[in-house]
């Protein structure tokens, strides 16, 4: 009798990948043991393992980047379902497969943002939220985008206070993000919807103070009028 296949957690999946990489490294060292020992033994073995790991990660990231570039034409043209699933009869994997195969690389992490956006555009809020919250890449612009994307999902679920907090957090990821004023505005609007007038005013005041040349600054006045004491 077949038993139901256990669904692996994110942690377990990462562990499996590390185990696989370990055995690949171990096999390489075993096959080349004599040559390696001639050049310093354990220290060289350690260096080889590090080089193997770094090269492997670089190759995986490059492959993810190539796949992501191929699917972006579909995404940019609004073919979100095809962008998610891939294009039949072609070698375009689709964002879902890219994330599954390369999700631990930087380009794979970037693919999560576009996958989440695609689900969002299709009205699949829960799927979008899953990938926004799963993002763990190192690029500030995408960190903020993931937080703001998740915020939009919570707003769609009428969890306005959570949405406001995430928009606020997105606005403080990097001082150089051109969308910071927009994030603060959405934070304030959601605080208003949550009945948090004082917090909303704080967001609007920050826009007036720190983003004087932003188009959002001209828009924020009508919201400030709603929170004046």
Q: What is the 3-state secondary structure (H, E, C) of 17-52?
A: HHHHHHHHHHHHHHHCHHHHHCCCCHHHHHHHHHHH
- How confident is the model at residue 57, as a pLDDT? 75
pTM of structure: 0.77
Give the CATH class of 139-229. mainly alpha
Domain ranges of the chain: 10-124, 139-229
- How confident is the model at residue 22, as a pLDDT? 52
Q: How far apart are CA 40 and CA 195, in angstroms?
A: 67
Q: Scan for tokens 């940019």, then name that residue.
A: 76
Q: Which of 104, 194, 133, 197 is nearest to 158 (CA)?
A: 194
Q: What is the pLDDT along the chain (229 residues), one digit of tens a residue?
A: 334 444 434 444 444 555 555 555 555 555 555 554 555 555 555 555 556 556 767 888 899 899 999 999 999 999 999 999 998 888 889 999 999 999 889 999 999 999 999 999 999 999 999 999 999 999 999 999 999 999 999 999 999 999 999 999 999 999 999 999 999 999 999 999 999 999 999 999 999 999 998 899 888 988 988 887 6
State how far Cα 156 lies from the chain centre: 19
């Amino acid at each position: 009798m077949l038993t139901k296949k256990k669904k692996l957690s994110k942690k377990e999946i990462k562990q499996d990948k590390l185990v696989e990489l370990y055995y690949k490294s171990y096999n390489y060292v075993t096959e080349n043991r004599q040559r390696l020992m001639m050049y310093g033994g354990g220290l060289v073995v350690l260096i080889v393992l590090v080089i193997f790991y770094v090269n492997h990660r670089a190759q995986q990231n490059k492959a993810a980047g190539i796949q992501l570039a191929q699917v972006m034409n579909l995404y940019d043209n609004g073919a979100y379902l095809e962008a998610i699933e891939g294009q039949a009869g072609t070698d375009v994997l689709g964002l879902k497969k890219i994330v599954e195969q390369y999700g631990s690389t930087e380009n794979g992490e970037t693919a999560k943002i576009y996958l989440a956006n695609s689900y969002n555009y299709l009205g699949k809020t829960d799927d979008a939220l899953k990938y926004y919250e799963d993002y763990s890449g190192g690029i500030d612009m995408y960190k903020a985008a993931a937080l703001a994307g998740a915020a939009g999902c919570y707003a769609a679920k009428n969890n306005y206070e959570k949405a406001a907090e995430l928009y606020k957090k997105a606005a403080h990821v990097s001082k150089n993000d051109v969308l910071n004023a927009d994030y603060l505005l959405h934070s304030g609007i959601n605080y208003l919807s949550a009945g948090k007038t004082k917090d909303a005013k704080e967001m609007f005041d920050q826009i007036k103070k720190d983003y004087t040349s932003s188009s959002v600054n001209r828009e924020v006045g009508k919201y400030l009028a709603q929170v004046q004491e």
